[in-house]
Amino acid sequence: MPKILFVCGSNRSRSPLAAAYFKKLAEDAGVVELVVESAGLRTNPREMICQEVSEVLAEDGLQPLQLGVRQVLPKQIKSADLVICFTSNQLEQLENTFLSAKRKTKTLMSILHSNAEIFDPVKGGAEKFRQCLRMMRPALEALAQRLL
C-alpha cells in the first residue's frame, strides 16, 4: 500500500490541509489502498492544527485527518513512498536530516514542474487558508491522477 507523507514546518496549516484534501482526491479517483499522513519539522506536541484548516476543509465537506500536530519521525520518512514538502528550505532540511528522504522528497509544486513555494497561511485568517489551498489544488490533483 503506497504511503504519502506531507511535511511542513509546524504541521499546523499546510501539511494537514494538503493531506486531507489529497486523500479525498485520491479516493474520488478510485485509489483507496493508500496511506496519507502529515507531520512537521518543528512541532510543539501540545498544539493543535489551526482552526482555519478545519473551516476551509469543511467548505468542501472534508475533515482533517488529525487534530493534534505530529513531529516528523525517521520511521515515517523511511516508510513513505513519497514525501511532499512545501518549500525548498523544507526539502533541504528533510534531505539533510533524514538520509532516507533523498530521492523520494519533492516540493508540492515541482509536481507541476514549478519552483513556486507554498506560503504559510498562519495568522492570515480563513481567506489566506483558502488562497493556500487554491494554490495547492492543481498539484494535488496532478499527484492524484498519477496514482491511477
Report pLDDT digits (tens) over 16-75. Answer: 999 999 999 999 989 889 999 999 999 988 899 999 999 999 999 999 999 999 999 999
Q: Quick one: average pLDDT of 108-134?
A: 96
The pLDDT of residue 148 is above 80: no
For 36, other C-beta atoms within 10 Å of its C-beta total 21
The pLDDT of residue 119 is above 90: yes
What mean pLDDT value characterizes the chain? 95
Question: Whole-prediction pTM value?
Answer: 0.96
User: In a 3-state reduction of DSSP, which class is residue 148?
Assistant: coil
The C-alpha atoms of residue 138 and residue 141 are separated, in whole angstroms, by 5
